[in-house]
Amino acid sequence: MSFTNETEKQKYYIDKCRELIKHKENEYGRKLTACVVTFGCQMNFKDSEKLMGILSQIGYEETEDEHADLVLYNTCTVRENANLKIYGRLGYLSKIKEKNPDMIIGLCGCMMQEEHVVEKLNKSYKFVDLIFGTHNVFLLAELLYERLISGHKVEDIWEGTTEVVEDLPAVRKYSFKSGVNIMYGCNNFCSYCIVPYVRGRERSRNPEDIVEEVKELVANGVVEVMLLGQNVNSYGKTLENPISFAKLLEKVEEVEGLKRIRFMTSHPKDLSDELIKVMAKSKKICKQMHLPLQSGSSRLLKIMNRHYDKEQYLLLIKKLRKAIPDIGITTDIIVGFPGETEDDFLETIDVVKKARYDSAFTFIYSKRSGTPAAKMPDQVPEDVVKDRFNRLLNVVNEISKEKTLKLQGTVQEVLVEEENKKIEGFVSGRLSNNSVVHFKGDVSLIGKLVNVNLKEAKGFYYMGEMVE
């Protein structure tokens, strides 16, 4: 067979798989089911939508039950406990497979890009049928076909890629909002982080392709997009016709019918004044900025290879708050990086108090083999890390609570996202600044923008009342 491009080739394999699955359907007298479980970040969630898109075109019915005919774990390896979770769940899956030998178990995503992981799987988890990585997600149909025809385990890990494959199917989890990849990979090599090793070098998509995708999403009912990249602020720098992230935002803003734009993640070192200006005047870009700090100690930031110091970071916060007064700012912080002293830690606390985050994701440093930090001396003792972690959390929570109080009693625009799981007759949605609000309403509101009075601030969320 010869194909003019990769997408065409994969469509061919989707058809071939569909034939095989049809046979099975006839044999079983029912539809086959597939369950894709996602671990990790928004990138993985987006990849999973593509994986499910391929599987549903092949003829699998989507299910959340892991007693399925095909189970695919899309893995994360950013911290050690992400890995441990996978090994634990694989044990559970093997029991299900014992009862259904025809079941296909697949693993993909970031963890598979590590040699020692694949070695371990081959040695101790022989029941796994399909292993592939982050660079060849689009190959699912081809790999599955090979597995179905051969009856043998199929393993295909790429070390990297320069390719960006467009136009494959996707099944979206939400009808009204969607992630949109604007770039893949990361070039920053923060010394603690494994992502550049498992996601490869930075590659930006063409702005035309991104805008096209957003238009198509809007035509299909999407009102909010989240532009995704490990460092969106360096978007476009390596394109043939370089373009800034701020310019891309302006192009996306022009898409008619689109109501809200979010993006993730911003690296402080590349956050430009141009971006702040574009955000300040935009009608669609949400008043929200996720700006990972990692540490407040300039000494540690240097060793972390972050390319900014405490003062530069605080200056950014100041500029953001000045230009966009009610902006919600969130962050990521690592506690217990090798060599972190009490003084370093107090610098982090100081930044938290000055930046006044709406919320912060706090992580205990996890040693990732292959990263420079893994070889650094002075790994901080566990009890010291735990103590610092708890102290940090207290400060973070206290400030979050105070921040939510500020909007209590005001009326804000809310995008309704889902039925409330705990209170019957209630729905939940998000403000522009990404805070969550619960209020009385029914499912017909899902995907709609409504005005809600934030009656009561509850720490991390609000209880509200819809106003006409």
Q: Which does 359 bind (CB under 5 to 8 A by kind): ligand F3S, ligand SF4, ligand SAH, none?
A: none
Contact range with ligand SAH by CB under 6 A, out of 44-52, 203-211, 365-373, 389-397: 365-373
Check residue 286 for interaction with ligand SF4 (CB under 6 A).
Answer: no
Amino acid at 1: M
Which of 280, 257, 276, 259 shows the shortest CA–CA distance to 268? 276
Whole-number Å distance between alpha carbons of 220 and 460: 32
Q: What is the dihedral of CA 116, 302, 366, 129, to 10 degrees?
A: -30
| From 77, 178, 366, 371, residue interacting with ligand F3S (rule: CB under 6 A) | 77
DSSP assignment, residue 205?
P
Check residue 79 for interaction with ligand SF4 (CB under 6 A).
Answer: no
Check residue 295 for interaction with ligand SF4 (CB under 6 A).
Answer: no
| From 154, 186, 327, 415, residue interacting with ligand SF4 (rule: CB under 6 A) | 186
Contact range with ligand SF4 by CB under 6 A, out of 150-158, 185-193, 338-346, 376-384: 185-193
Identify the residue whose tokens are 């292993």: 131
Check residue 76 for interaction with ligand SF4 (CB under 6 A).
Answer: no
Minimum CB–partner distance for residue 81 and ligand F3S (Å):
12
Contact range with ligand SAH by CB under 6 A, out of 188-196, 248-256, 433-441, 444-452: 188-196
Identify the residue whose tokens are 């950013």: 78
Whole-number Å distance between alpha carbons of 216 and 446: 20
| From 52, 76, 252, 335, residue interacting with ligand F3S (rule: CB under 6 A) | 76
Minimum CB–partner distance for residue 188 and ligand F3S (Å):
13
Nearer to ligand SF4 by Cβ, of 294 and 433: the residue is 294
Q: Which does 189 bind (CB under 5 to 8 A by kind): ligand SAH, ligand SF4, ligand F3S, none?
A: ligand SF4
- Sketch the per residue contact string, 323 through 342, with ligand SAH: x for CB under 6 A, - otherwise: ---------x-x--------
Minimum CB–partner distance for residue 44 and ligand F3S (Å):
4
Amino acid at 346: L
Find how far residue 384's CA is from the centre of its chain: 30
Q: What is the dihedral of CA 111, 76, 272, 280, to 10 degrees?
A: 160
SS (H, E, C) 128-175: CCEEECCCCHHHHHHHHHHHHHHCCCEEECCCCCCCCCCCCCCCCCCC
- Per CB under 6 A, contacts with ligand SF4 among 208-247 are 230-231
Nearer to ligand F3S by Cβ, of 76 and 450: the residue is 76
Check residue 306 for interaction with ligand F3S (CB under 6 A).
Answer: no
Nearer to ligand SF4 by Cβ, of 365 and 439: the residue is 365
- Sketch the per residue contact string, 135 through 174, with ligand SF4: x for CB under 6 A, - otherwise: ----------------------------------------
CB 368 within 8 A of CB 192: yes
DSSP assignment, residue 126?
T
For ligand SAH (CB under 6 A), the number of binding residues is 17
- Sketch the per residue contact string, 164 through 203, with ligand F3S: x for CB under 6 A, - otherwise: -------------------------------x--xx----
CB count within 10 Å of CB 120 equals 13
Minimum CB–partner distance for residue 102 and ligand SF4 (Å):
38
Contacts of 383 (CB under 8 A, 6+ apart): none
- Positive or negative: CA dihedral 319, 393, 83, 80: positive
| Pairing relationship of beta strands 183-184 and 177-181 according to DSSP bridges | unpaired
| Pairing relationship of beta strands 411-419 and 426-431 according to DSSP bridges | antiparallel
CB 394 within 8 A of CB 402: no
Whole-number Å distance between alpha carbons of 42 and 45: 5
> Closest residue (Cβ) to ligand F3S?
40
Helix H or strand E segment including 70: strand 70-75
Q: Which does 103 bind (CB under 5 to 8 A by kind): ligand SF4, ligand SAH, ligand F3S, none?
A: none
Which of 341, 329, 334, 209 shows the shortest CA–CA distance to 279? 329
Check residue 44 for interaction with ligand F3S (CB under 6 A).
Answer: yes
Whole-number Å distance between alpha carbons of 167 and 205: 13
CB 374 within 8 A of CB 399: no
| From 193, 217, 278, 334, residue interacting with ligand SF4 (rule: CB under 6 A) | 193
| From 9, 11, 40, 430, residue interacting with ligand F3S (rule: CB under 6 A) | 40
> Which residues of this chain interact with ligand SAH, rule CB under 6 A?
78-79, 192-193, 195, 230-231, 265, 267, 292, 294, 332, 334, 363, 365-366, 368
Q: Which residue ranges make up the site for ligand F3S (CB under 6 A)?
A: 40-41, 43-44, 76-78, 110, 195, 198-199
